Structures are given as structure tokens and as C-alpha cells.
Amino acid sequence: MKLILAAAFLLSPTALIAQAHEPGSTMPEMNSQMPAKPPVPPSHSLLVTNLGAVNGPNTKTFTVADLAKLPQVTVHVHNAHSKRDEDYTGPLVSDVFALAGLALTHENEAAILHSYVVASATDNYRVVYSAAEMEPGFSNSKVIVAISKSSAPNTEGGDIQLINTDGARPARWIHGLTTLTVTTLPPTK
């Protein structure tokens, strides 16, 4: 009896799939696309915290207007989710970090190599980067704090975003970027 139930259980999904593909089937079509993700709540400021600053933690808040005053970089990226090429503009993360006390110098090169960054969004999505991959002195990719998309404010991804040119998918992009927290690992003994 158990064998018959197990066989019925295993065969039932196969039978349903086969029936769904039969001509004239009355079963509803199975949708292979994922449901649309709701828009990310916009972020209106960015809090940058450097926990590894020499004089103790250093925190600085940037508004969109503050970010617009920094040198702007435009990156052309392919968004694998939307299957479109997109242009984003904003300052390099390294320029933002420099104002929060983490500018690349010969003296703090080791600190940057031993630091990681947690980027957080308004919807609590978070990703981790090494500080070195955000620094042009160590990486060929560009990581920007985007404040516009295609030369206009980005209403679908929040006012502030984190966009990088490296990666096959935009999984480490942050829409609605609210915080960048830099943590430096302690030196080994």
C-alpha cells in the first residue's frame, strides 16, 4: 500500500505537467516568470559610517544635493533582470568614502585591503563588498552612488542607488540605498 501511495505521489506532478502541455488542455498555463517586485521605498539621504577611522567611528550624512556636488561618473550597464542596457550617474563610492575619512593613501592601503562594506536599502536588502573592490586604485570596475538614471531622477529604484559595473547580474546593486558601513578587520598578531 505504501509503495502505491509513493508511486502516485511521484507521478502526480508529472501527470499534471504532461496534461498542461497537451493540446486542448483546460488547465491554466503555468507562468515561468516571477511576480513583479514592488517598488523600493525611495531613500533621500545616505549615511556613511567608517567604523575603522583612526580617531574613532566617523559618520557623515549625504543628501542627493550633496552627492550631486561631487564629481559625477556615468556607467553603462546591462540589467539582466529587465534585459535592458541602462545608464546611471553619480559619484564614485571612493569619492564619498574620502569625505568620510577613508581616502586611499599609501598609509591606509592595508586598512582598505582589510575592510568590508555593508550596503543597506530602505527595504532592508543588504549586500557586502570589500572596500578594495570599491576603490579605483585596486579595481577596474566602477562602483557609484547613482542619483540619476538616463539623465533623470530614478523613480523606480529610489533616489539613491549603489550600482557596479562588475558582475553578470545586478544582484549586488542596491535600490533605495540608505547606509554604507565600513568595517576594518583588526590586525593579525
Max CA separation in the chain (angstroms): 74
The arrangement of secondary structure in 45-184, i.e. its CATH architecture, is: Alpha-Beta Complex (3.90)
Per-residue pLDDT of the chain (189 residues; tens, 9 = 90+): 454 444 444 444 444 344 444 444 444 444 445 556 677 888 999 999 988 766 678 899 999 999 999 999 999 999 888 888 999 999 999 999 988 877 777 777 888 888 999 999 999 999 999 999 999 989 899 999 999 998 777 666 778 999 999 877 888 999 999 999 999 888 777
Distance CA 107, CA 127 (A): 28
Distance CA 63, CA 160 (A): 9
Q: Report yes or no: 43 and 173 within 8 Å, Cβ to Cβ.
A: no
Grid coordinates belonging to 174: 542596491
- Structural domain boundaries of the chain? 45-184
Distance CA 85, CA 150 (A): 10
